[in-house]
Amino acid sequence: MALMTGEQYVESLRKLNTKVYMFGQKIDNWVDHPIIRPSINCVKMTYDLAQDPEHEDLMTATSSLTGNKINRFAHLHQSTDDLRKKVKMQRLLGQKTASCFQRCVGMDAFNSMFSTTYETDKAHGTNYHERFKKYLTYVQDNDLTVDGAMTDPKGDRGKSQGAQTDPDMFVRIVEKRADGIVVRGAKAHQTGSINSHEHLIMPTQAVSEEDKQYAVAFAVPSDAEGLFMIYGRQSCDTRKLEKDADVDLGNKEFGGQEALVVFDDVFVPNDRVFMCEEYDFAGMLVERFAGYHRQSYGGCKVGVGDVLIGAAALAADYNGANKASHIKDKLIEMTHLNETLYCCGIACSAEGYPTDAGNYQIDLLLANVCKQNVTRFPYEIVRLAEDIAGGLMVTMPSQADFRSDLTVPTKSGMTVGQWANKFFVGADGVSTENRMRILRFIENIALGASAVGYRTESMHGAGSPQAQRIMIARQGNIAAKKELAKAIAGIKE
């Protein structure tokens, strides 16, 4: 099958019997739901750009499995050049959507699963690697979007998987059959899960021998029997349900998506099982996926940051403050922070190396440094954008007020809309509506429905800040640095 177009992707979702719940109701036509559709449009962009000759080099690749042209989101990295192109592709998509385009987790899961299954087979004599290669070939040939799912609800964070009061707080094997396994549990905060054709499930943390039923990795279609999703709501999400509220939306076309994915005794056939109680390799899979996904943030967050910097500069123009030296300095600082994130994403890619399986792994230490910076710098970028925009960003009336023809009973006889447009005008020559649009857009990225793809998600996506600090401590090799100091200081022990 050739690469899908964006429209073909949207139509392919309609063919799925995906079970979606939101606001306490089952959503039958979720593809066209006004709250969900912006997130589908983000994924659609990954297909549209792959059809554009201008972006073909970044958006597509040659499959190492089949030799066919495929979307880069389904690619196994074959070089450090592939790793760098991944980051550049993610920056491009962030620039085009100013939100989360949701296919990164699947791509990162493919690459971590490919190398981990290879090493699992070497140690245990299993055949997971060949199974996974066949599965990924299917994904590539059909140009599918796959939700890479790692995060479990976790329950009591002070207890291990098996010690939980409710054993379903981590996805687990509840039955092993001759033809496959039955799994139960849930994956939380799953980016783009509803918009995906498939789900690739991984453990969320290292697993001990006594908890080996939690060491499981597998793939299932989105409409598998026993699988359903509960959509996660976002700040300002119901604005999308309001009539004629496009100014208030800020980013009308695009948005992020998260959901709880529940597995209520879902059967998985053997050919889609890639780990089944090999607990000694669960930690490796988690570590490699986390590394790839932390690299991703050096691209996607930078692209959204590019848009936010542009929006802040426009707000300064529309406010008539663009010539102030402190405004120029704040834009410089935002750019400095944003490009520093990009440097980290490129650096961990350039320092990549081949795995035993043949695909390329990023430098884990630098990837964790990249994500640690992402937990901080976007917050400062947002703070500066809000500073430049001004308080009107969060105190302005609604679009309905700006367009109201209701007459206020005063001597002037002016309408509500005329009063609002009169007093919220900015720089000469700038319409009040355009000023409102850019302020609402900044609000959307900083506080609203796109925050899941920028600010708050920068903190918790791909692991909390402490998760990166643990990896930095592990990878930082303090012992070797001590030896460097001893040698120069003339210390002999």
Catalytic residue among 42, 276, 300, 344, which? 300
Give dist(CA 378, CA 101) in Å, integer. Answer: 18
Element (H, E) at 361: strand 360-361
Q: Is the dihedral of CA 383, 385, 390, 395 positive or negative?
A: negative
Catalytic residue among 80, 191, 355, 375, which? 191
Residue appearing with tokens 């033809």: 179
Token code pair at residue 314 = 């426009």
Catalytic residue among 119, 198, 258, 278, which? 258
Catalytic residue among 47, 60, 97, 100, which? 100
For 228, phi then psi, to 5°, come to -145, 165
Give dist(CA 384, CA 393) in Å, integer. Answer: 13
Give dist(CA 314, CA 322) in Å, integer. Answer: 8
Catalytic residue among 279, 297, 342, 454, which? 297
Give dist(CA 463, CA 302) in Å, integer. Answer: 18
Is there a contact between 258 and 20 (Cβ–Cβ < 8 Å)? no
Give dist(CA 260, CA 58) in Å, integer. Answer: 31
Cα Rg for the chain, rounded, in angstroms?
Answer: 24
297 belongs to the catalytic site: yes
Catalytic residue among 77, 197, 199, 293, which? 293
Give dist(CA 10, CA 5) in Å, integer. Answer: 9
Q: Give the strand pairing for 360-361 and 227-231.
A: unpaired
351 belongs to the catalytic site: no
Q: Give the strand pairing for 227-231 and 258-269.
A: antiparallel
348 belongs to the catalytic site: no
Token code pair at residue 257 = 């998506």
Catalytic residue among 9, 80, 104, 454, which? 104
Residue appearing with tokens 């350039």: 350
42 belongs to the catalytic site: no
Give dist(CA 391, CA 424) in Å, integer. Answer: 12
Q: Give the strand pairing for 180-191 and 258-269.
A: antiparallel
343 belongs to the catalytic site: no
344 belongs to the catalytic site: no
Q: Which residues carry out catalysis? A: 100, 104, 191, 258, 293, 297, 300, 457
